[in-house]
Structure 1
Amino acid sequence: MLKAQYSHRGPVPQDVIEAVPFEAPPLLPGQVLIEVLAAPINPSDLLTLTGEYGLLPPLPAVGGNEGMGRIAALGPGVDSLRVGQRVLLPIGGGSWTSHRVAPAQGLVVLPGEGDPKQLAMITINPPTASLLLSEFAVLHPGDWVIQNAANSAVGGYLVQIARQRGLRTINVVRRESAAEAVRALGGDVVLVDGDDLARRAREAAQGAPIRLGIDAVGGTATQRIAEALGEGGVVVNYGAMSREPCQISPAAFVFRDVSLRGFWLSRWFQQASPQRRAQVFGEIAHAVAAGTLSARIQATFGLDRIKDAVAAAAAGERDGKILLLPNGPV
């Protein structure tokens, strides 16, 4: 058994993480042993390694926050699950490991069909995309939404979910080479970011108001999204790829009633009812298992190559997710 562990944080994420052997402890009543099949490396994971994320676990810690696996053993008294069932890993607590002990209660059972690599990514990015589209503005089929970082994992899911809901998307990327992949997912309009973004976005919408703007970049990119919105539009920020504070002109607030909101999935987890969480994850798991919702994967790595995997995830201009396959190909 291997786990990817770090005992300190630093500016270069691959320098602080390493694969170390371990032995799983005996299972206590109510616990199960999960054989981890796949776990992604997300931007939040990298920020946790560098110490820049909003929630940092005590050290030493195992990297990763989401993934999926297969029940390998049942502890005493567990009769609600069976060996071989596929489940989501509990969020947090370290997913970059070959095996994980977890409480049986509350585990989300996954469909028996569907690509394990795709199912491993449903805990963070797909619900983020879904909730960004539903929690901040009343949208109807035919309405326009604009987002930057459209070639990111969240951006890709958002394009697909918006299309399924009948919404139209204006998708902003930093380079033309990233545009075709967004179009292939169903993006209605793809624009390269720039000073005249708002004009080009309004022209693409043909005068229809753009009601919702989604910003993962911060800095002056937030202002460009705000300028594209119609009166009363909402900008929702969920990331800071620029590492800069969001900037919006007071004129947007005062004269066009644009508002700026923030979204953090961890807070939504804390506040949402169990029924609401089950509804969101049930819809996503069904779509992913059916193949109607997916994310691009650039490369997969074993845990023994965790440093290479983290370096690949931290590199710029990727064309898909980096995934760990702790127990070999799936």
Structure 2
Amino acid sequence: MKKAEYASRGPVPQDVISTVEMNLPPPAEGQVLIEVLAAPINPSDVLTLTGEYGQLPPLPAIGGNEGVGRVVELGSGVDAQWRGRTVLLPVGSGTWRTHLLATAATLVPLPDGVDVQQLAMLAINPPTALLMLSEFVNLQPGDWVIQNAANSGVGSYLIGIAKARGLNCVNIVRREAAVESVRAAGGEIVLVDGEKLAKRVAEATGSAAIRLGIDAVGGAATDNLARCLAPGATLINYGAMSGEPCQISPASFVFRDITLRGFWLSQWFKTADAKRRAEVFGEIGKLIASGTLRAPVQATYPLDRIKEAVAAAAAGERSGKILLLPNG
């Protein structure tokens, strides 16, 4: 058994983490032992290693917040039906390891016969996309939404969920090289951020009223999106890929009544009840199983190459997610 552990944080994320051996006791009553099949490296994971994320675990810590695994051993009192089941790993459980223990009653079973690499990315990016489309503006089929960082993990899921709901989506990227990957993910309108974005969006949409904007970049990109929105629209920020705080003209607030809100999935987890969580994950699981939702994977790494994997995830201009396959 092995784990990817860090005992400090620093500006170069791959420098603080390494693969070490570990031991786990047999599962206790009500517990199961899970073999980790796949676990992604998300931007939030990289920020956790650098110490810049909004919620940091005590040190030393095992990296990783989501993934998928297979139940391989049962503790006493656990129903035999769990043996061999594919399950969603508990969010925030330190998933960059070969095995982990979990309470059977808290596990979410996943459909069999589905690509485990796609299922491994179910717990963070897809619900982020789904909830931003659901929780702020009551969108109906035919309505419009605009997002930047459309080539990101959240961006690709948002395209799929919007299409499944009959929504029209304008997709903004920061470089020309990202356009084709977004089109391959189903994005029909893809534009590069920059000068006169609002004018170009109006031309591409026939001056449609866009009631929801979704910003992952911050800085001047926030204001660029705000200028594309209809009066009274809502703009959601969930990240700062630019490394800069959101910039938005007072005119957007004063004269056009734009509302700027923030979204953090960790906060949603604190307030959502079990029924709502089951609804969200159930909807996402069905979309992944049907092939409606599919995120690009750039590369996979074994756990022993954790430093290379983190470096790849932290690098710019990726074409897809970096995944760990701890057990090959």
Within a 5 Å distance, the mapping from 1:153-302 to structure 2 comes to: 153-302=153-302
Q: Does 1:138 align with 2:153?
A: no
What amino acid maps onto 1:319 in structure 2?
Answer: S
Structure 2 counterparts to residues 303-322 of structure 1, below 5 A: 303-322=303-322
Residue type of the partner of 2:39? A
Per-residue CA deviation, residues 229-288 of structure 1 (Å, 9 max, x unaligned), is 010011000001111111111110110000000000011111112111100100111111
Q: What is the alpha-carbon distance in structure 1 between the residues aligned to residue 78 and residue 325 of structure 2?
A: 27
Task: Output the amino acid matched with 1:140.
Answer: Q
The match for 1:48 is: 48
AA matched with 1:58: P
Q: What TM-score results when the alignment is normalised by the length of structure 1?
A: 0.98
1:100 counterpart letter in structure 2: L
Offset at residue 82 of structure 1 (A): 2.3
- Secondary structure of the residue that 2:8 maps to in structure 1? coil
Is the 2:26–2:33 Cα contact (8 Å) retained in structure 1?
Answer: no
Corresponding residue number in structure 1 for 2:13 = 13
The one-letter amino acid of 1:67's match is G
Deviation at 1:68, TM superposition (A): 0.4
Q: Which secondary structure does the structure 1 equivalent of 2:323 belong to?
A: strand
User: What are the equivalent positions in structure 2 for 1:85-96 lying under 5 Å apart?
Assistant: 85-96=85-96
Which 4+ residue blocks in structure 1 deviate beyond 4 angstroms?
none
What SS does structure 1 have at the residue aligned with 2:108? coil
- Unmatched runs of 5 consecutive residues or more in structure 1: none
Q: TM-score, normalised by structure 2?
A: 0.98
Determine the structure 2 residue equivalent to 1:65: 65
- Secondary structure of the 2:255 match is helix
Q: Distance in 2 between matches of 1:130 and 1:188?
A: 19
2:260 match: secondary structure: strand
* C-alpha distance in 2 between matches for 1:317 and 1:278: 34
TM-superposed CA distance for 1:80, in Å, is 6.5
Q: Which residue of 1 aligns with 2:98?
A: 98
State the AA in 1 paired with 2:274. Answer: P
* CA–CA distance in structure 1, aligned partners of residues 286 and 80 of structure 2: 21
Structure 1: how far apart are the matches of 2:48 and 2:80? 34
Q: Is there any run of 5+ residues in structure 2 with no aligned partner, and where?
A: none
Shift of 1:195: 2.1
Deviation at 1:81, TM superposition (A): 4.3
What residue number does 1:119 align with?
119
AA in 2 matched with 1:54: G
**Post-superposition shift, 1:179?**
0.6
For the residue of structure 1 that corresponds to 2:109, the secondary structure is coil
Give the percent of matched residue pairs that are identical in Structure 1 and Structure 2: 66
Q: Is the CA contact 2:179–2:191 (under 8 Å) kept in the aligned structure 1?
A: yes
Deviations 1:149-174 (A, max 9, x none): 00000000001111111111111111
> Which SS does the other structure have where 2:126 is aligned?
helix
CA RMSD of aligned residues (A): 0.9
CA–CA separation in structure 1 for the residues paired with 2:59 and 2:213? 37
Deviations 1:95-133 (A, max 9, x none): 000000111111000011200000000000001111111
Task: For 1:119, give the aligned amino acid.
Answer: L
1:79 corresponds to which residue?
Answer: 79
Deviation at 1:93, TM superposition (A): 2.1
134-143 vs 222-231, which moves further: 134-143
Contact 1:81 1:104 in 2 (8 A): no
SS of the residue aligned with 2:163?
Answer: helix
